Copies of this chain bind each other. A is one copy, B any other.
Amino acid sequence: MQDPFVCTPVSHHQCISNALDQAETLCRSRNVRLTPIRHRVLELIWQQHRPVGAYDLLEQLQQQGRVAPPTVYRALDFLQQQGLIHRLESLNAFVGCAHPQYPHQGQFLICKSCRSLVEITDPEISTVINNRAEAVGFKPLNQTVEVSGFCDGCWQKEQING
């Protein structure tokens, strides 16, 4: 259920192709079209393996010919609908979804220093939030949970350097 390997600088190419293979399989099984553009955008997002802005993607796409913003946003919309990427509201950016197989509420840990991101999928978090919402008579449909702070490595450095 989890990825069979941890993504390191060395194994990152594998991480990308894994994500793309998974996306292809999923789209085929759902009878939706992972067109060349959509595939390419997903690939670019996974290449970064961190939150990327739409215009960053646009710039990269433009290295192979003229592309306009709507093209990128449409691809992003599609990928989001398919659960292949998440949008980070606090960054106006997009990141590949680690577990696209099933729909879920992701929670995101965003490092202020290196801008890396970890997605956790903790049912307890979503449950507590939903419960509290319902307790005040609110019908929750979708959660945005984004935590800004320091990843392990950067937190060490912070403490040493002040």
CB of A35 closer than 8 Å to a CB of B? no
State the number of copies, please.
Answer: 2
Contacts A109-B136, A136-B120; A129 near B147 (Cβ below 8 A): yes
Cross-chain contact B132 with A152 (CB below 8 angstroms): no
Cross-chain contact A124 with B132 (CB below 8 angstroms): yes
Cross-chain contact B145 with A149 (CB below 8 angstroms): no
CB of A48 closer than 8 Å to a CB of B? no
A140 and B151 CA atoms in complex are apart in Å by 9
CB of A102 closer than 8 Å to a CB of B? no
Q: How many residues of A contact B (CB 8 A)?
A: 34
Q: Which residues of the other chain, B, contact A155 by a CB distance below 8 angstroms? A: 138-139
CB of A112 closer than 8 Å to a CB of B? yes
Cross-chain contact B112 with A144 (CB below 8 angstroms): no
CB of A142 closer than 8 Å to a CB of B? yes
CB of A150 closer than 8 Å to a CB of B? yes
Beyond A137-B151, A139-B155, 15 additional pairs, beta carbon < 8 A: A90-B144, A107-B132, A109-B138, A112-B141, A118-B138, A122-B128, A129-B147, A133-B149, A138-B147, A138-B150, A138-B151, A141-B147, A142-B147, A143-B147, A143-B148
Kindly list the 7 A-B residue pairs having the minimum CB-CB distance in the complex, ordered from nearest: A137-B152, A89-B89, A141-B149, A144-B146, A140-B149, A139-B150, A139-B155
